[in-house]
Amino acid sequence: MGEPARLAAAVSWLFVPASRPERFEKAMASGADAVVIDLEDAVPPADKPLAREKLTAHWPRPESGSGPELVVRVNDLRSAESAEDLAACRELAPTAVVLPKTESADDVRAAAEASGRSVLALVETARGLIGLPDIAAADETVRLLFGNIDLALDLGVTADAALDAARSDLVRWSAASGLPQPVDGVTTAISDPAAVTRAAETALAWGFGGKLCIHPSQLPLVAAAFAPTEEELAWAGRILDAVDGEDTGAVLVDGEMVDRPVVERARRIVACTRPAR
């Protein structure tokens, strides 16, 4: 269960209910980097067994290496549906499983063993925050996802800014464990593009590498927010031209001293494959 490289680079993630198979192909053609077929929150409790049947019957089978990565959000390990969800994933072989309410490395290992897939750990409880060091260090963890809505409920907070410490924790433990930058949670304002853009730009500033989306209209907004600006690309180009591939220590660029961390940031900007905004 090696790390799926395309999941590590995925920026825009689109949820689609497992109970709505007529939306699967549309989601796969939406331009998302990853499609999350959802057996959990998007499906009412009474409909979960039928949703799992529909998922199995209508499983999209894109050609290898083309289209978005396909993952499944199962129900959490403490639910009655979890075992059958994970068994279905073992049969369907998505790129990874999204594990809601991940609270420990044991949770990650149990989900990976039952599904035969790597795990995208969705951290959305106080216990999950406490368990972050072990969750991030688990061999089966591919990337951390932020469950901002459920976490706010668990913590009893209503202001989004109250979750900033949790955002910092996900970024910090991802970096410390050698994981890709984590994926930010959803923005529920479907009809407010400016709100989505602001949230995505804030997530980028915090150190996130992508964002979960609940509607296709949010995808281009997220992709644009995470793309480097033309000014950033031009700045990075000047930095790299100045060092010319050599480890020369500090150099002067645009009147400022530039050393290794700045050069590395410039390299990351240039390495971004998304068009400049």
pLDDT at res. 134? 98
Query: Which residue do the tokens 């289209």 mark?
Result: 67
pLDDT at res. 243? 78
pLDDT at res. 80? 96
pLDDT in tens, 167-182: 999 999 999 999 999 9
Enumerate residue ranges in the chain where pLDDT < 50: 1-3
- In sequence order, the 6+-apart residues with CB closer than 8 A to the CB of 220 are 31
Q: Residue 74 and residue 212: Cα distance in Å, rounded?
A: 16
pLDDT at res. 190? 92
pLDDT at res. 2? 40
pTM (predicted TM-score): 0.88
Q: Which two tokens stand for residue 51?
A: 């949703």
What CATH number labels 5-226?
Answer: 3.20.20.60
Q: Which two tokens stand for residue 104?
A: 């420990």
* Sequence ranges of the domains in the chain: 5-226, 230-271
pLDDT at res. 268? 74
- In sequence order, the 6+-apart residues with CB closer than 8 A to the CB of 155 are 126, 162, 163
176 close to 202: Cβ distance less than 8 angstroms: no
pLDDT at res. 274? 64
pLDDT in tens, 97-124: 999 999 999 999 999 999 999 999 999 9
